[in-house]
Amino acid sequence: KADPNNKTAHFNLGVSYLKSKKYDLAIPEFQKTAQLDPSDTQAKSLAEICEGMVALSKGNYSAGAQHFQGALKASPDNPDAKRLLNQCNAKIYMDQKNYPAAVTVLTRVIQDDPGNYSAYENLGVIYYQQKDYKKAVDYLGHAAKLAPESQTYKFLGFSYYNLGDFNNAIEHFNKSIKLELAKDPKDQDKDSLDQTYYDLAVAYSDNGSFDDAADAYGNAFKVNPKDSNAAVNQAGAIDATVNSHLEKASNFLVNSQYSDAIAEYQKVQIGRAHV
């Protein structure tokens, strides 16, 4: 206010807003700096980066890419602009289902920024879509180490299930559910939670754990009472549970293992109580 044309003050105020992620407030400060000193390529570059970040906050990746290209035009060696441009292009390619191009760009992102969670997650999702489940597990597993997220664990569960590794599928579905339930109820993704419970139940069933499958189907139905498939499959899992315990009890009786047989018959009653 005391010196409206103080270039250094405008620039530093812009940096302060940038570090506080107040990108919309930083933009005019950097633009004013560049206006006062047209040779200040750093101010021009930072103004473009902030405009790109505002575009990203609105989900406009094409506009974001244009601004990051503008930042590189002003400052060709700006590492942040390069990284952000690659991330935008990856998102654009993924939306276009141009997976080879997306893989190329995301691999470049990881080379420049080995701790980039989004790049690892997106690569994992791409390989999952392409049914390359081993690579999906590698990239999603790395993403989960960087930032445990419910969606990442869900896709890990899907990938392990498709590899026939039901134990790992069950473990990761449960981790996904635990993280989702830890959120405030208003922030929980109910559709995703329903799907994860359902797929957990399928994994339990294929792994011969019919009691757990029945419980998981029941939880899916609680999350989404309109999920008729969960209700029907829960009944089927209960029947499978009862039959499994009856068969085990009979085998124990044949071998005169009466205590074990009684325990199995008691489990039959618990299974029927689900109904």
Sign of CA dihedral 66, 69, 75, 81: positive
Statement: the pTM of the whole predicted model exceeds 0.85: no
Check: CB of residue 57 under 8 Å from CB of residue 45. Answer: no
Q: Looking at residues 73-96, what average pLDDT do you find?
A: 92
pLDDT digits (tens, 9 = 90+) for 60-80: 999 999 999 999 999 999 999
Residues above pLDDT 70, as percent of the chain:
85
pLDDT at 252: 61
> Do 250 and 242 meet the contact criterion of CB atoms below 8 Å apart?
no
Q: Are 121 and 141 in contact (CB under 8 A)?
A: no
pLDDT at 265 over 60: no
The per-residue pLDDT of the chain, averaged, comes to 88
Query: What is d(CA 248, CA 159) in angstroms, rounded to the nearest whole number?
Result: 32
Phi, then psi, of 95 in degrees rounded to 5 = -65, -30
pLDDT at 240: 61
Which range is least confidently modeled, 42-51, 63-72, 221-230?
221-230
pLDDT band at residue 169, thresholds of 50, 70 and 90?
very high
